[in-house]
């Protein structure tokens, strides 16, 4: 007779299968929660990045008594200087971008020493002999504040800065240089947004005001940041807590996402988009089965011009955003990311984007924010009725948040 004490205590096959099934069910239930928890952590990290940028803006203003300029930089030294690298002597300043940045730097460049990037700032603000890892020949250097931000051989412009990157955005590497997910708010109108009222003189290489452009810019540049123009906190008459300073946007992944690369409109679309913010949307250029993506027949910007591809560039598609179309709307563009375009914020977060207010608060703005009549036109110098200079924003609460001095009352509690 077998002793009860020696009887086998192993699992039966049925019991083992039941245990495996239970574990599988638990894993299936837990995985979505784990993924949600990871995205919540990434979203919190993104918010913290923006808080650090907001603190940097305030520290910059405390130090220099003004905001960092969107479209800052240096003049060209003229045509008599020798070239750098593979460029010889040139005739016009615009052929010699290696000698200056041609006033094409974003506001993010000036913030680098205030986000604990002093080493990078030192490379930018001083003559630099590093030609993408190989020293220049004797006597040649990149100039202080660097060349134009399209120059890939200038290492600072290719540097990825963690504070400027949202951890939920998977974009990395070529054909971009150093990417950014955050950019300056340029308000609720784009007219003359690519010029800012001035241009570089082709003879002297110096930036000068153009009378007609300057009048257009003064009427339409209603945001906290103005291209090539200095601004201060005192200019924000609506109050820092009621005015958007910066917004988040997703970078391009090469997948024809209408939020991260613009369609290539003809020149005449400039005025059509100005007078109807939904003009591009009304053309049915996006795939009806996948409305987030452009139709394959629609031409888009070149592969190196994706949204957020150059953190150091002042171009609207690289480091700017508007409060015209709601968050995660398609880009309404003309030709390229430096052309006159509507640049909504966007993100890889579900349901909205992070917005940095002038007082440093970070708000998660939903895609459903009240944005007025999207078939309205934007304010500009010769606009009539709701488009006349000084008008309240045609784009509802969203537009009002983007204007610094339109005297509109914000009744909603944004950061609950």
Q: Structural domain boundaries of the chain?
A: 34-68+153-415
Task: Kindly state the tokens that stand for 145.
Answer: 């504040």
Task: Using DSSP, state whether 385 is helix, strand or coil.
Answer: helix
pTM: 0.85
List Cβ neighbours of 48 (8 Å cut-off, separation of 6 or more).
Answer: none
d(CA 66, CA 69): 8
Alpha helices in 233-329 (DSSP H): 269-275, 279-282, 316-319
Long-range contacts of 254-257 (CB under 8 A, 24+ apart): 254/303, 254/306, 255/293, 256/293, 256/294, 256/296, 256/300, 257/292, 257/293
Q: What is the pLDDT along the chain (416 residues), one digit of tens a residue?
A: 445 555 556 667 777 788 888 888 877 776 676 666 777 888 899 999 999 999 999 999 999 999 999 999 887 765 444 333 334 333 343 345 567 788 889 999 999 999 999 999 999 999 888 887 788 776 677 888 988 898 888 999 999 999 999 999 999 888 999 999 999 999 999 877 667 777 777 666 677 778 788 888 888 889 999 988 889 999 999 999 999 999 999 999 999 999 999 887 776 677 888 899 999 989 999 999 998 999 999 888 888 899 999 999 999 899 999 999 999 999 987 666 667 789 999 999 999 999 999 999 999 999 999 999 999 999 988 888 989 998 999 999 999 999 998 888 776 767 65
For 244, phi and psi rounded to 5 degrees?
A: -75, 130
Of the candidates 193, 135, 138, the one whose C-alpha atom is nearest the C-alpha of residue 319 is 193
List Cβ neighbours of 396 (8 Å cut-off, separation of 6 or more).
Answer: 369, 370, 371, 372
d(CA 203, CA 162): 40
Task: Using DSSP, state whether 364 is helix, strand or coil.
Answer: strand
d(CA 367, CA 87): 47
Cβ pair 67, 60 in contact under 8 A: yes
Task: Using DSSP, state whether 113 is helix, strand or coil.
Answer: helix
List Cβ neighbours of 377 (8 Å cut-off, separation of 6 or more).
Answer: 274, 275, 276, 277, 383, 386, 387, 394
From the centroid of its chain, how far is CA 308? 5
Radius of gyration of the chain (CA): 25
d(CA 179, CA 322): 19
Cβ pair 393, 372 in contact under 8 A: yes
């Amino acid at each position: 007779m077998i002793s009860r004490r020696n009887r086998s205590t192993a699992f039966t096959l049925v019991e083992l299968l039941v245990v495996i099934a239970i574990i599988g069910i638990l894993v299936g239930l837990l995985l979505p929660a784990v993924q949600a928890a990871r995205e919540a952590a990434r979203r919190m990290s993104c918010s913290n990045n923006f808080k650090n940028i907001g603190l940097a803006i305030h520290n910059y203003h405390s130090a220099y008594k003004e905001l960092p300029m969107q479209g800052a930089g240096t003049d060209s030294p003229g045509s008599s200087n020798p070239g750098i690298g593979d460029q010889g002597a040139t005739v016009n300043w615009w052929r010699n971008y290696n000698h200056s940045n041609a006033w094409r730097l974003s506001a993010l460049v000036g913030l680098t020493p205030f986000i604990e990037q002093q080493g990078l700032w030192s490379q930018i603000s001083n003559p630099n002999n590093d030609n993408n890892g190989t020293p220049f020949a004797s006597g040649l250097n990149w100039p202080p504040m660097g060349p134009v931000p399209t120059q890939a051989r200038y290492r600072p412009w290719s540097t990825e800065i963690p504070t400027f990157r949202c951890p939920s955005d998977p974009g990395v590497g070529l054909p971009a240089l150093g990417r950014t997910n955050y950019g300056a708010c340029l308000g609720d109108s784009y007219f003359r947004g690519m010029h800012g009222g001035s241009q570089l003189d082709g003879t002297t290489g110096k930036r000068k005001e153009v009378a007609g452009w300057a009048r257009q810019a003064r009427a339409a540049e209603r945001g906290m940041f103005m291209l090539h123009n200095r601004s201060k906190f005192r200019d924000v008459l609506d109050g820092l807590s009621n005015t958007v300073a910066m917004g988040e946007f997703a970078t391009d992944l090469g997948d024809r996402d209408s939020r991260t690369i613009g369609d290539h409109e003809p020149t005449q679309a400039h005025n059509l988009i100005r007078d109807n913010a939904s003009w591009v949307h009304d053309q049915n250029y996006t795939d009806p089965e996948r409305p987030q993506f452009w139709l394959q027949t629609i031409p888009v910007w070149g592969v190196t011009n994706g949204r957020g591809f150059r953190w150091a560039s002042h171009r609207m598609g690289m480091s700017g955003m508007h409060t015209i179309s709601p968050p995660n709307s398609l880009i309404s563009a003309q030709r390229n990311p430096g052309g006159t375009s509507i640049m909504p914020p966007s993100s890889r977060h579900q349901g909205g984007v992070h917005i940095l207010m002038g007082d440093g608060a970070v708000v998660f703005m939903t895609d459903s924010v009240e944005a007025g009549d999207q078939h309205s036109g934007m304010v500009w110098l010769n606009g009539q009725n709701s488009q006349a200079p000084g008008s309240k924003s045609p784009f509802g609460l969203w537009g009002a948040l983007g204007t610094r001095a339109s005297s509109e009352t914000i009744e909603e509690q944004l950061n609950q």
